[in-house]
Amino acid sequence: MNLPAWRSPALSSLRLAAIDLDGTLLGTDHQIGDANRAAVGKLMQAGLEVVLASGRHHHAMSNFARELPGVRWLISAQGGEVSDVDRTQVLEQRFLARAQVSAAIAALNRQGMSALFYAEDGILTDSPLNDALEFYQTLSGNVLHRVSTPALLEQPIFKVVAASSETGIDQFIAGEEIAGLDLQRVRSHRRFYEFMPHGVTKASGLKTLTAHLGLNAAQVIAFGDGDNDVPMFQWAGHSVAMPHGWPDAKTAARLVAPEGDPDTAFARAVDCLLG
């Protein structure tokens, strides 16, 4: 459905806007376009705290936050970390157990899948660079640091990401290797499949942050486009999916932004929200 005009009581109750990056705030060039940048400013002028919520690592989010004066908080690594932009105040970090990381590595190795690992201070891989990993580097703007598997297992890890072709991920998901892994999982991109601790989502990060700020779910509006946004759509009192988003995301959101250029879908959603 198209996003209808919002009634002033609903708008007046909102205090925080949680915004996904890839596919929502960022355009197809993986940058914040002028229209979306202006839309963030409009939300702030309306009195909302703007928070960026992404599967990306903190290091790959902070530069975008610094382009948006007034953004104070980041929910990164799919909810694995909640911190301020400068990372001087970390409200929460939730890591996989070492045995869980080891089990994920074994399952991925048996399928010949490349993997990358979100450590506290960067993104690691124990695989040689290949097309899938190079695609990830280009998409995310992160440089992967190659380490040995034993060294990797000594690191605190937020999440494990399987990287392959779209067909390779399809086959991996359909296979039996992942069935025995006691991990939460989500497809975050056609070429990536992620493993996190149970209960770690963008919604869990929002819950931690809003408690810190003295807010509640009814005062939150979430914007996103992917399956990894579904938990925060279900938790937040208000939610808007992008019209080009994944089917499950559009089903879970309360509203869907008007059709049009994907690069400005977020701006259109904000304009409808603010009337």
Average pLDDT over residues 23-50: 96
How confident is the model over 195-207, as a mean pLDDT? 97
CATH number for the domain harbouring residue 169:
3.30.1240.10
Q: Judge if 60 and 116 occupy the same domain.
A: no
| DSSP calls for the chain | -PPPPPPHHHHHH--EEEE-TBTTTB-TTSSB-HHHHHHHHHHHHTTPEEEEE-SS-GGGTHHHHHTSTT--EEEEGGGTEEEETTSSSEEEE----HHHHHHHHHHHHHTT-EEEEEETTEEEESS---HHHHHHHHHH-PPPEE--HHHHHTS-EEEEEEE--HHHHHHHHHSSGGGG--SEEEEEETTEEEEE-TT-SHHHHHHHHHHHHT--GGGEEEEE-SGGGHHHHHHSSEEEE-TTS-HHHHHHSSEEPPSS-GGGHHHHHHHHHH-
Inside any domain, residue 215:
yes
The yes-or-no verdict on residue 140 having pLDDT over 90 is no
Residue 259 included in any domain: yes
Entry pTM: 0.93
Residue 65's pLDDT band (boundaries 50, 70, 90)?
very high
186 within a domain of the structure (yes/no): yes
Q: What percent of the chain has pLDDT over 90?
A: 83
Q: How many domains does the chain have?
A: 2
Residue 175 banded pLDDT, cuts 50, 70, 90: confident
176 vs 90, residue with greater confidence: 90
End-of-domain residue from the set 150, 179, 196 = 196
Domain that holds residue 156: 98-196
Dihedral sign, Cα of residue 121, residue 123, residue 124, residue 128: negative
Most confident range, picked from 84-98, 100-114, 139-153, 169-183: 84-98
Domain final residue, candidates 168, 196, 224: 196
pLDDT for residue 49: 97
pLDDT band at 234 (very low <50, low <70, confident <90, very high): very high
Q: Is residue 1 part of a domain?
A: no
- For residues 88 and 97, is the Cβ–Cβ distance under 8 A? no
Looking at the structure, tell me whether residues 241 and 182 fall in a common domain.
no
| Residues 68 and 188 placed together within one structural domain of the fold | no
| Residues 197 and 185: beta-carbon distance below 8 Å | no
**Domain holding 226: CATH number?**
3.40.50.1000
pLDDT digits (tens, 9 = 90+) for 152-172: 999 999 999 999 999 999 998
Q: Of the residues 196, 229, 256, which one is the last residue of a structural domain?
A: 196
What is the C-alpha to C-alpha distance for residues 64 and 37, in angstroms, rounded to an integer? 10
Same domain, yes or no: 127 and 70: no
pLDDT of residue 2: 47
Banded pLDDT at 18 (limits 50, 70, 90): very high
Structural domain contains residue 76: yes
